[in-house]
Amino acid sequence: MVEQLTTPEFSYDEFEEPCSMERRLNIENFLQLFIHPIICFAGFIGNTLVIVTYALYKRTKSMTDVYLLNVAIADILFVVALPLIIYSEQYGWSMGNLSCKLLRGIYSVNLYSGMLLLACISGDRYLAIVQARRSFRLRSSTLLYSHLVCAAVWILALLLSLPTFIFYERYQPGPTAFIGNSTEGIDDREYVCFFSFKSNHTARTMKTVVPSSQVAMGFFLPLLIMGFCYSSVIVTLLRAKNFQRHKAVRVVLTVVFVFVVCHMPYNIALLYYTISMFEEQDCSHEEAVSLTMTFTRSLAYLHSCLNPLLYAFIGVNFRNHFRKILRDIWCLGKNYMSARRSSRATTEMYLSTRRSMDGSTNDNGTSFTM
């Protein structure tokens, strides 16, 4: 026994040990504590401004408004869920199993609905510009349609997120059996919130299906729709004799460019990871892949705070409404101390002038006017 203990162990195969990837965890920790809070804060402010503007000053009248409001709601739920997930990850999901399922589920629902709604916006712009003659007649009834489309998107997003709600569990990860005297640290292992399956078969299926559907429905489908709609829009715009067409083309190209730059890297990394998931890997290779996923995921998160700028604030109508809000808040603050009554009258006056102005403006293609 003693003799065997002193025999030197093999040292020539390096990848025989479990791969711990501590470097990736450190970098992920850094991103979660320093970068993601900034993204969440900016996203929260931007999307709150969009929602407040719609709630107080601009009743949703066109299809575009309905979609923009829904994108803002999806984004705000996303940037609220994200810090809670980060907090829970840092503290071992101490809020329990339900919080694990709910937070991960909400995260997934808003990821899907956000992406699909951006595709809806491109479809709306396609109808407004390419099919302008046909949609002009339809436009009065489209508000109802857009509500129905949004409801369908949210239901689809919920259905696509069902596996997350069902299979995410809070548990202590680690080996399923333990034999020998090396039981150190088995009970103080940190809880995680991750996939947990009853059988190997469902595990294999769902571990492939969930990321595949995320890449397909949460990226390539919206990309395909946007590609078709926006290229038709650009072709129509370039044929038109409007002096503002170049600005509109620039807006469209920016929207598509930012979408691709934010989401393409993560989805390609995720696709690659999913394809090579069940094969043997080098630890260093796996570490590189997960590092890429960690960085590209942060890039994808960034999109939720760019959406208000790209879709809402780029529109001249929306900016006017937002300016009115600022003016009213300024007036309210200025008059609050002196006379409460008169300040309210001023606000009401602003509101009434706004409404009378709105009656004459045409909301077609709101987001294109710079």
Partner 1 sequence: MVIKICILALVTLLLFQVETDAVACCLSYTKHPRRCANLKGYDIQGTTGGCDLAAIIFHTEKGRLICADPAQAWTQKRVECLKYEKVTFQSLT
CB of 21 to partner 1, least distance (A): 6
Question: Considering only 102-110, 203-211, 242-250, 297-305, which stretch makes contact with partner 1 by CB under 8 A?
Answer: 203-211
CA 170 centroid distance within chain: 23
User: What does the DSSP 8-state code read for residue 10?
Assistant: P
Question: How distant, in Å, are the alpha carbons of 64, 133, 278, 285, 316 from that of 367?
Answer: 8, 19, 45, 44, 7
Query: Does the footprint of partner 1 cover residue 187 (CB under 8 A)?
Result: no
Min dist. Cβ of residue 188 to partner 1 (A): 9
9 part of the interface to partner 1, by CB under 8 A = yes
Could you tell me if 50 and 72 are in contact, meaning their C-beta atoms sit under 8 angstroms apart? yes
Q: Which of 130, 203, 332, 351 binds partner 1 (CB under 8 A)?
A: 203
Q: Is 16 in the site for partner 1 (CB under 8 A)?
A: yes
Which residue, 53, 62, 40, is CA-closest to 121?
Answer: 62
Cα 137 to the chain's mean position, in Å? 34
Question: Which DSSP string corresponds to 124-140?
Answer: HHHHHHTTHHHHHHHTT
How distant, in Å, are the alpha carbons of 27, 83, 301 from that of 31? 6, 12, 11
Of residues 286-325, those binding partner 1 (CB under 8 A): 286
Among the listed residues 114, 151, 136, 101, the one whose alpha carbon sits nearest the alpha carbon of residue 308? 114
CA angle 33, 37, 43 (to 5 degrees): 160
Q: How far apart are CA 115 and CA 158, in angstroms?
A: 13
Site string for partner 1, 238-277 (x = CB under 8 A): ---------------------------------------x
Determine the 3-state secondary structure of 174 from DSSP.
Answer: coil
**Strand, coil or helix: 195:** strand
Sorted by sequence, the CB contacts under 8 Å of residue 149 that are 6+ apart come out as 120
User: Pick from 141, 181, 356, 362: which binds partner 1 (CB under 8 A)?
Assistant: 181
Q: Is 173 in the site for partner 1 (CB under 8 A)?
A: yes
- Indicate whether 96 belongs to the interface with partner 1 (CB under 8 A): no
Pick from 20, 131, 244, 353 the residue near partner 1 by CB under 8 A: 20
Query: Is residue 182 at the binding interface for partner 1, with CB under 8 A as the rule?
Result: yes
Residues in contact with partner 1, total (CB under 8 A)? 56
Choosing from 138, 155, 174, 344, the residue that interacts with partner 1 (CB under 8 A) is 174
Contact status: 22 vs partner 1 (CB under 8 A): yes
Q: Which range, of 51-59, 186-194, 307-315, 332-340, touches partner 1 by CB under 8 A?
A: 186-194
Integer distance in angstroms from the first to the last C-alpha of the chain? 82
> 18 or 359, CB closer to partner 1?
18
Q: Tell which one of 140, 141, 179, 362 touches partner 1 (CB under 8 A).
A: 179
If binding is defined by CB under 8 A, does position 217 make contact with partner 1?
no
Phi/psi for 312 (5° steps) reads: -90, -60
By CB under 8 A, the residues from 98 to 137 that bind partner 1 are none
Q: Which residues bind partner 1 (CB under 8 A)?
A: 1, 4-5, 7, 9-10, 12-13, 15-22, 25, 29, 33-34, 89-92, 171, 173-182, 185, 189-190, 192, 194-200, 203-204, 207, 277-278, 280-283, 286
